[in-house]
Homo-oligomer: A and B are copies of this chain.
Amino acid sequence: MDGSVRIGILGTGVVGQTIGGKLTELGHDVKLGSRTATNEKAAKWVAQYGSRASQGTFADAASFGEVVFNCTSGMVSLEALHSAGAANLAGKVLVDVSNPLDFSRGMPPTLSVCNSDSIAEQIQREFPETKVVKTLNTMNAGVMVKPSLVPGDHDVFMSGNDADAKSQVSGLLRSFGWKTIVDLGDISSARGAEMLLPIWLRLMGTFKTATFNFHIARG
């Protein structure tokens, strides 16, 4: 993925703002989408990142993007994606960064889907014309776009059914600084990546920091 690409980001939280900001710094044009076209967090983000940054609705962002990032909470991702519109996502790569963390039963959160299914698979089933690639959901937002925040070797995982889509996403990940991209397999392998969240949350509690990451050591 060489040169400037138009990117739509669904979600105006820390993850969406961080990924979107990094992408503008890399020379891409980015539209941050939310429920409303006048979201205040998105407006502040646009003011911060300048002429390559814009905002709009979920549908505006999906329509704008040649590549779309799902940075909404996994609990509301399907609703946000339906709001974005299947036609606006058809034929495109959707980078799914979400985690289905359910805080309604208290702390620690549980996963609203896991084990025999995943949010990534649900999205792929509901949007069959879209090429879903799960990645970046297993680390803190800062580490996602600046892996060097964590010293030493560590990895980003990737799952998806479409080889070309995974190749495109790998290019973006490398532009963020990722050296080791572990391709877990088809989209059903996203179950494994999403099921890392419970231990990630425990580790954050133990280490008192979110600046760490998984590495697979091997021969």
Contacts from A to B (Cβ < 8 Å): 105, 110-111, 114-116, 149-154, 157, 182-185, 189, 191-193, 195-196, 198-203, 205-207, 209, 211-219
| Chain B proximity of A190: nearest CB distance (Å) | 10
Q: How distant is the Cα of A196 from the Cα of B212 in the complex, in angstroms? A: 17
The interface residues of chain B lying within 8 Å CB-to-CB of A218 are 150-151, 207, 209, 211-213
* A200, A202, A205, most chain B CB atoms within 10 A: A202
Partner of A152, one of B196, B202, B217: B217
Number of this chain's copies in the assembly equals 2
The interface residues of chain B lying within 8 Å CB-to-CB of A183 are 206
User: Is there an interface contact between B199 and A193, defined as CB atoms closer than 8 Å?
Assistant: yes
User: Is there an interface contact between A111 and B105, defined as CB atoms closer than 8 Å?
Assistant: no
Q: What are 15 A-to-B residue pairs whose CB atoms are below 8 Å?
A: A110-B116, A111-B115, A114-B114, A149-B219, A184-B202, A185-B205, A192-B199, A192-B200, A192-B202, A193-B199, A196-B196, A196-B199, A207-B218, A214-B215, A214-B217
| Chain B proximity of A102: nearest CB distance (Å) | 9
User: Is there an interface contact between B152 and A199, defined as CB atoms closer than 8 Å?
Assistant: no
User: Is there an interface contact between A199 and B215, defined as CB atoms closer than 8 Å?
Assistant: no
Q: How distant is the Cα of A202 from the Cα of B192 in the complex, in angstroms? A: 8
The interface residues of chain B lying within 8 Å CB-to-CB of A182 are 203, 206
User: Is there an interface contact between B206 and A153, defined as CB atoms closer than 8 Å?
Assistant: no
Top 9 A-B pairs ranked by shortest CB distance? A192-B199, A212-B218, A154-B217, A192-B198, A215-B215, A195-B195, A152-B217, A189-B202, A184-B202
| Chain B proximity of A149: nearest CB distance (Å) | 8
User: Is there an interface contact between B115 and A219, defined as CB atoms closer than 8 Å?
Assistant: no
